[in-house]
């Protein structure tokens, strides 16, 4: 069975790419390149599915919005 997940990708202060899968609690990884990051997040997703099981409710991804606040 093929499953599809939304992945959020950000870059941290040291230049690493960080990937997070909102639908899978604790599913995240990091890498110096996007190619390596995508390989690693696929592995992380597979591991999370093994632990969590197949009954995960996938939420529909709507988008990302940047919000400014004064601090």
pLDDT along the chain (71 residues), means of 10: 91 97 93 98 94 76 90 90
Instruction: Map out the domains of the chain as residue ranges.
Output: 1-71
Specify the pTM. Answer: 0.82
Surface-to-core class of residue 52, CB atoms within 10 Å of its CB (0-12 exposed, 13-18 middle, 19+ buried): middle
| pLDDT in the model for residue 54 | 66
Helix intervals (H) in 1-71: 34-52
CATH of 1-71 given 3.40.50.300, 3.30.160.250, 3.50.40.10, 3.10.20.30: 3.30.160.250
pLDDT at 33: 98
Q: What is the DSSP letter of 53?
A: -
The whole-chain average pLDDT of the chain stands at: 91
Tell me if residue 45 falls in helix, strand or coil.
helix
């Amino acid at each position: 069975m093929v499953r599809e997940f939304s992945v959020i990708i950000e870059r941290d202060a040291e230049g690493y790419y960080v990937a997070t899968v909102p639908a899978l609690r604790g599913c995240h990884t990091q890498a110096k390149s996007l190619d390596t990051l995508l390989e690693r997040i696929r592995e992380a997703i597979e591991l999370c599915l093994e632990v969590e099981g197949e009954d995960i409710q996938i939420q529909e991804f709507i988008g990302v919005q940047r919000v400014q606040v004064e601090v």
